[in-house]
Chain A
Amino acid sequence: MSKNRTHVIGKSGWRRTLGAAVVSAIYFFPVYYILMTAFKTRPDALAMPIKFLFTPTMDNFYSVFVRADIQGGGGTDSGFSHYFFNSLFIGGTSVTLALIMGTAAAYGFSRFPLRGNDTYLFIILTTRMLPPIIAIIPIFVLFRVFGLSGSYTGIIALYTAFNLPFSIWMAKSFFDDLDRDIEDAARMDGSSEWRVFRKICLPQVYGGLAATFVFAVILTWNEFLFALMLTGTETRTVPVAIARTIGGQVGVDWGLMSAIETLFIIPVVLVTFVLQNQLLRGVTFGTIRK
């Protein structure tokens, strides 16, 4: 297992490595462009051809959080620190909830199948087949009726429901792949059903769950439509706030936009980085002899 891994990652020839580097560079370029623009002054950002050499400035990052007063003087809080908090709090909570519920449900579907198990699973998936633009109408009405519009509860509940089918399907596939003899061995070793789940099955799928967590975080983090319709000033998330920034009085401030986006990318990068070992395990899932 570990032998294979070092081989796959470390020992390819120079030509392949170079090829991969070129492809990655192409993929990475938009991100790099944003990073660069975030540190440019306004004239530099607008300069054509693209300026690759320039004197970096932190001004854009400053203005993300503080809106300059036209009259001069101090400036007011742009509210972005609050929006970042919202995105983190809403995204983190809903994905975690979805993953916990999804894992439990998936274990049930996998180990204690119901009559018509597959039908249930299919129905669960159908909730994700509607384009959000259509689903939004009844949901909007529902939120109005129950007074959930603009509340944390509402948007967290929605995102949890939104991530649940994906979590269930992913987690179920991980549980299905496990070797049942291992669980039987644990039963013989004296484990209760709960401990079989907690001590034997769950740890084996951590990698897969971590991968699922990252995907769900990215989806939720970037979600725009529901957030636009269902959050208020208090619960506004970053994507919505970005959209509102675009419509400024003085045209699009590319530097500012890029600074926001740079900050916006950081949490996703961090999560992926922290979980990268787990992710690798998730991808190379099921390497133990069956």
Chain B
Amino acid sequence: MTIAEPIAELPQIDEEEAQRARRRRNEKIGSWVLPILVITFSIWIWDRIVVWNELPHYILPGPGRVLEALIEDWAILFDSLLVTLQITFGALAIAVAGGVGLAVLFTQSRWIEMSFFPYAVILQVTPVVSIAPLIFIYVDSRLAGLLICAWIVAFFPILSNTTMGLNSADHNLRDLFKVYGSSRWQRLRFLQLPSALPYFLGGLRIAGGLSLIGAVVAEYVAGTGGIGSGLAFRILEAGYRLNIPRMFAALFLIAMTGVVIYATLSFISHMALRKWHESAIKREA
């Protein structure tokens, strides 16, 4: 750099920075455009495969046919979607209350943790499909059975993440709380719970997806349908009747529900942490 350099040129960003800015902008556009291109192309290929091979709709319906089913059967599918959502969010709510409650209990007493943590692990590693039939034998209410199954799948990530978070509080701060003679409750409220928040939200994001999976799997196992059955039953039913377009439509709704749950929970997590937590700050940059 020389003094002779004209000042007017200073605000100009150099080639490397310009390139970086360009790349960032392109990446931002690409992150939207590319997935849309891929999905459009896939749908088109799907449609072509069906048309070119003259596949009957009870083997593989074309995308248009699925859309038709989605619109025609909307009343049935929407009712089922509501049921699935009800079970998913019901299970998630119980998982949050139970997971956080148990985690708090665990950090309050090592004895309770030692007594119960192994059973939480056993509950987690036992496949829900293998316990579900038992649950439906012992629990009369179908809804309650479904909730229990979905809850079993969803609650562990919340429990383990929150427990870890509650124990991750800075140990100097913990000493400081002791120096100032804080009570157990103050330590929990002002130190451990805020420290656990990022961990809890990470667990919540996983649990959201899992409770949907739990709700669907449980309904497959429960089998019986009729009024008040969810999307999983619609899939089973459509399969028996070889109504494959409706099967696809129901599947599409489940996938979309999963995406929406994940996006919503990610957004909540981002909003809750954006002021102070690294994970949220990096995303803003």
Query: A and B: partners?
Result: no
Residues of B within 8 A of A (CB): none
Q: A residues bordering B, Cβ < 8 Å?
A: none
